[in-house]
């Protein structure tokens, strides 16, 4: 099973800066033996990047998609549109979308279903706030987030899902979950997948860690038995740190 290192640029980089970063990433990538590299730039750049970097071993992801199919939904872009623009992946359920844009469990589930229907590979995020962790309800919440988002997905379609465990208290804060905390939650998620689907889904679904992952802590986190790479925010905005994370995955 190949690891994934995915960079989420969020709302950063103007077009020329994005091209510079993609040029540096694609030029600096080593021959990959055990890692899939994914970049999620801002949506307006996706179609051009897909044409411009077609020859490179970098998959393109959107940072979200519409919960709707085509129709009168001004400003929305559908999963099918992304797929038709050369995009292969989409991040769904990021905590910033859930918290700042009011994406409910139902909306996340609809987006997952739209993405799967459009043959996109989903990077499905889950994660608990500090408050939830401190009240020791984190396992229950993660289970609920994932079970709900995957309610309409059958075992065969789980091949199109990667899970990203991103504790909200670690995103953009510089505080990383310890390797033990990450492993504990990843193991729990894998066990849940076994309960909801089957042992094969449990053992083959990639589970990424996200939350202040950087070159100094990646080797330890990626080295955990149930961690299959990372979803990276801040450290994906510089080619050197992003490439170090790819190297850490290759060495794990
Ligand atoms: C993220 O937002 O998905 C993320 C992991 O951000 P950061 O790496 O900056 O914590």
- What is the per-residue DSSP string for 81-146? HHHHTT--EEEE--HHHHHHS---HHHHHHHHHHHHHTTPEEEEEE---HHHHHTT-HHHHHHHHH
User: Given this model, what pLDDT does residue 176 score?
Assistant: 83
Closest CA to 112 of 146, 71, 72, 76: 146
| CB of 41 sitting under 6 A from ligand 1 | no
Q: Which residues of the chain have pLDDT under 70?
A: none
Residue nearest to atom 2 of ligand 1 (CA): 233
| CB of 199 sitting under 6 A from ligand 1 | no
Q: State the helix-helix crossing angle for 215-222 and 179-196, rounded to 10 degrees.
A: 40
Helix or strand or coil: residue 61? strand
- Residue to probe by mutation, ligand 1, list 4, 6, 7, 8, most atoms within 8 Å of CB: 8
Q: First CA to last CA across the chain, in angstroms?
A: 12
Closest CA to 125 of 173, 92, 167: 92
| CB of 63 sitting under 6 A from ligand 1 | no
| CB of 212 sitting under 6 A from ligand 1 | yes
CA dist list (Å): 89 to 38, 112, 148, 245: 8, 11, 20, 19
Q: Are 207 and 229 in contact (CB under 8 A)?
A: no
Residue nearest to atom 6 of ligand 1 (CA): 233
- H/E stretch holding 38 reads strand 35-40
Q: Catalogue the active-site residues.
A: 94, 166
| CB of 231 sitting under 6 A from ligand 1 | yes
All structural domains of the chain: 3-251 (3.20.20.70)
Residue nearest to atom 1 of ligand 1 (CA): 233
Residue nearest to atom 7 of ligand 1 (CA): 233
Q: How big is the CA angle at 175 (ends 169 and 180), to the nearest 5 degrees?
A: 90
Give the nearest ligand 1 atom to 125 CA. Answer: 3
User: Given this model, what pLDDT does residue 172 score?
Assistant: 80
What is the bridge-based pairing of β-strands 229-232 and 35-40? unpaired
Closest CA to 122 of 200, 55, 40: 40
Compute the distance between CA of residue 197 and CA of residue 191 in angstroms, rounded to an integer: 10
Q: Radius of gyration (Cα) for the chain, nearest Å?
A: 17
Q: What is the pTM of this model?
A: 0.96
Compute the distance between CA of residue 206 and CA of residue 187 in angstroms, rounded to an integer: 11
């Amino acid at each position: 099973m190949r690891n994934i290192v995915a960079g989420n640029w969020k709302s950063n980089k103007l077009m020329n800066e994005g091209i510079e970063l993609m040029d540096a990433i694609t030029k600096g990538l080593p021959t990959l033996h055990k890692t899939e590299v994914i970049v999620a730039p801002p949506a307006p750049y996706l179609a051009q990047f897909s044409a411009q970097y077609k020859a490179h071993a970098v998959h393109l992801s959107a940072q979200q998609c519409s919960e709707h199919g085509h129709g009168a939904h001004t400003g929305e872009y559908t999963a099918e549109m992304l797929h038709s623009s050369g995009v292969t992946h989409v991040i769904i359920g990021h905590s910033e979308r859930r918290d700042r844009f009011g994406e409910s469990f139902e909306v996340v589930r609809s987006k997952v279903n739209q993405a799967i229907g459009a043959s996109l590979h989903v990077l499905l995020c889950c994660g608990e706030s500090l408050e939830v962790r401190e009240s020791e309800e984190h396992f229950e919440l993660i289970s609920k987030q994932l079970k709900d988002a995957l309610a309409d997905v059958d075992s065969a379609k789980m091949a199109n899902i990667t899970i990203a465990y991103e504790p909200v208290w670690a995103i953009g804060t510089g505080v990383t979950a310890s390797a033990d905390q990450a492993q504990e939650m990843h193991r729990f998620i894998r066990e849940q997948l076994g309960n909801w689907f089957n042992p094969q889904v449990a053992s083959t679904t990639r589970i990424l860690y996200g939350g202040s992952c950087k070159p100094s802590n990646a080797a330890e986190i990626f080295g955990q038995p149930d961690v299959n790479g990372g979803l990276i925010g801040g450290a994906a905005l510089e080619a050197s740190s992003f490439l170090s994370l790819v190297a850490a995955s290759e060495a794990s």
